Amino acid sequence: MRCALLVLLALTGRALADAETDADRAFQTAMQRAVAGDPAAIDAFEALGDARPITRWTDDAWIEVARLAERGGDYARARRAYERVLSVATDERQLARARTALARLASTTGGGQWDAIAREHERLVSAVFGGDDPRAELVQLERIVTQHPGYPRVNAIRLALGRGWEEEGARARALRWWQAAAEAEPAARVAYIRALIRAGALDEAERQLAIAEAMLARGAQAAGAGATIDRTALAHARRALAVAERRERIAMMLWGVLALAAGAAIFALRRATTSWRDALRRLVHPPLEVVFLIPIAGVLVAIAHTGNPPIARAVTWIAIAGVAIAWTSGVVLDAARARGPLGLARVAAQVGTVVIAVGAAGYLAVLRSGALDLLLMTWEGGHALR
């Protein structure tokens, strides 16, 4: 009898060892399929989770099922998978992970009530920040906010709308959504302040900063969310406002420089012609170099509009300013040359004025388009930043 029991235990141990080996192989195979983007990988993980006997890979398989299901918007399947983890796992970390995930899903989908809306929310946000023309998706997101104000993640949609419309250049519309998000949740107020700074509404940004600082002093919390205003983020926003105010002073000086350059060009053109009518007649006919420049500028603008919207806006304004400066400078130079040879000092003065005007116009273009911060982030963080 004792020998038979030993044989049975040996066979059972061997079977369990074989099951562990098979489960290890099945898990690695399923993981490779998941990494490769195979949609059937989730079924392979689910089959491994259902397989018996239970192995050390069973709870891991259900975790992967839940992760893939949640990524695919199948929240019901994700909940079931996390519940299976709770029924088979013995590792406290896995159990805690599953409980946390279930609590998060319950708060974001209402235990199934908001599954369809959450799925549509994720689809639309992915389309907004991964597509070429997201305006239709942004309008659909607005419709979700209007029709389903009770959706638990409605404020995340407001923030996405603020960012999305801002990237599309609709700053007024974007600010309305940033403001709505800030009014619904104090933690979103810093994002609203930064949006105001980017839009150049510095007085309102200062006012909102004062409100946020007062709220922080009172320990204001978002209703039911426990989300407070981040003190560090608020300090960064204060510094960003100071930088924006400094840039605004520089911009005002550069507008003055452009006004002086324009005045000097008008004065020089009138001086080189016989009358205002003659000056106007010359001005409406572009110099030969500008005729060649315009199509090149047009191509650059067209290429820029296939990429990042702030960069596209900056390139557009730089191209317009460059053509205008080249046009005016060429007309003035041709008119002056018609009156006689040009001295070196005269040419140097005009070249210097053109260089200064181009630099001023370029800075104003990248500042007003919102591209300056993007360029600085790219410089600091590398070209992979979007």
CA-closest candidate to residue 85, choices 106, 104, 55, 59: 59
In this structure, what are the phi and psi dihedrals at residue 245, rounded to the nearest 5 degrees? -65, -35
Instruction: Give CA–CA dist 297/319, Å, rounded.
Output: 6
Q: How far is Cα of residue 3 from the mean position of the Cα atoms in its chain?
A: 70
**Does residue 386 register a pLDDT over 70?**
no
What's the average model confidence in pLDDT over 45-68?
Answer: 90
Written as six digits, the tokens of 269 are 């053109």
The per-residue pLDDT for range 239-283, each reduced to its tens digit, is: 999 999 999 999 999 999 999 999 988 888 888 887 888 888 888
Question: In this predicted structure, what is the pLDDT of residue 229?
Answer: 83
CA-closest candidate to residue 325, choices 281, 358, 374, 280: 358
In terms of average pLDDT, the best of 14-18, 226-230, 352-356 is 352-356
pLDDT band at 372 (very low <50, low <70, confident <90, very high): confident
Question: In this predicted structure, what is the pLDDT of residue 177?
Answer: 97
* Angle at which helices 154-167 and 115-128 cross, to 10°: 20
CA-closest candidate to residue 119, choices 133, 105, 136, 130: 105
The per-residue pLDDT for range 76-116, each reduced to its tens digit, is: 999 999 999 999 888 899 899 999 999 998 888 888 899 99
Higher pLDDT, 1 or 332: 332
Higher pLDDT, 380 or 10: 380
Instruction: Give CA–CA dist 291/286, Å, rounded.
Output: 7
Question: In this predicted structure, what is the pLDDT of residue 228?
Answer: 76
Which residues partner with 221 through β-bridges? 228
Percent of the chain with pLDDT strictly greater than 90:
47
* SS3 state of residue 228: strand
Domains of the chain, earliest start first: 2-112 (1.25.40.10), 137-229 (1.25.40), 248-381 (no CATH)
The per-residue pLDDT for range 327-336, each reduced to its tens digit, is: 988 888 888 8
Instruction: Give CA–CA dist 319/138, Å, rounded.
Output: 29
In this structure, what are the phi and psi dihedrals at residue 346, rounded to the nearest 5 degrees? -65, -45
pLDDT band at 192 (very low <50, low <70, confident <90, very high): very high
pTM listed for this prediction: 0.74
What's the average model confidence in pLDDT over 125-131?
Answer: 86
Q: Which position has the token pair 């998706």?
A: 137
In this structure, what are the phi and psi dihedrals at residue 347, rounded to the nearest 5 degrees? -65, -45
The per-residue pLDDT for range 137-166, each reduced to its tens digit, is: 999 999 999 999 999 999 999 999 999 998
Instruction: Give CA–CA dist 140/179, Å, rounded.
Output: 19
